[in-house]
Amino acid sequence: MGRNDYKKAIFTIIILAINSGLFLFLSIFYGQQGERLLIEYGGLYEIAVNYRGEYYRFVSSMFVHFGIEHLASNMLLLAILGYNLEVEKGHIKFLIIYFVSGIGGNVASFWWRSLGDVNIMSGGASGAVFGLMGAILGSYIKHGRPIARLSKQGILVMIGISLFVGLTTAGIDNAGHIGGLLFGFLISLILL
């Protein structure tokens, strides 16, 4: 991978840096990441949205994480998927897919929780990351060829494992993951 290859995925690198930098900043100045801290610094929290009108949380929650493991798993997948998608499809399409998927996943999560009158907080880039998976799958279905080295079987296995882990682990925002996946898939059919 040459120096110019990194320029082709500049927005993936910028998003990785923002997520990691924000996590590091909050960890240094405020200690261990936790739900209370994320409520103050942009996590998706129903009370803040419904009663204080803090709609920016549909975006800001994509950049705050609960702990180093949460951050590391999201950033690893973002690095792999984002790099390949941005290099193959371009900066603008990548950004549109990333943010539409992340916001769409957050809207799906918010809607799902409102049905059950559940007042919990969520955060992280996973809705957007699932959207990248959905977009790669959508692109494969639309064009009949893989993106970079990401084959249809490989992306299906990645989606299956990721959904399985989410569904079998307590405290995971599955509505956000599935919403991001669907939004990424649908937007890829339009954009790619």
Which CATH number fits the domain that encloses residue 167? 1.20.1540.10
Which of these, 161, 4, 191, 164, lies nearest to 85 by C-alpha position?
Answer: 191
Give the 3-state secondary structure percentages of the chain, helix then strand then coil, rounded to 5: 75, 5, 20
Domain that residue 57 falls in: 3-191
- Mean pLDDT in runs of 10 for the chain (192 residues)? 67 97 87 70 89 95 92 95 93 97 96 79 93 94 83 87 90 92 96 78
Q: Under DSSP, is residue 132 helix (H, G, I), strand (E, B) or coil?
A: helix
Tokens at residue 74, please? 């999201």
Contacts for 173 with CB less than 8 Å, ≥ 6 apart: 109, 122, 124, 126, 127
For the chain, what is the largest distance between any 2 Cα atoms, rounded to a whole number of angstroms? 51
Instruction: Give CA–CA dist 141/91, Å, rounded.
Output: 21
Q: Are the C-beta atoms of residues 15 and 78 closer than 8 Å to each other?
A: yes
CA 117 to chain centre: 24
The token pair that represents 20 in the structure block? 């990691």
Catalytic residues: 126, 177
Specify the DSSP element, H or E, that contains 189.
helix 174-191
Number of independent structural domains in the chain:
1
pLDDT for 148 equals: 77
Q: Which residue reads 């798993």 in tokens? A: 73
DSSP letter at 63 equals G
Q: At what angle do helices 10-30 and 91-115 cross, to 10 degrees?
A: 50
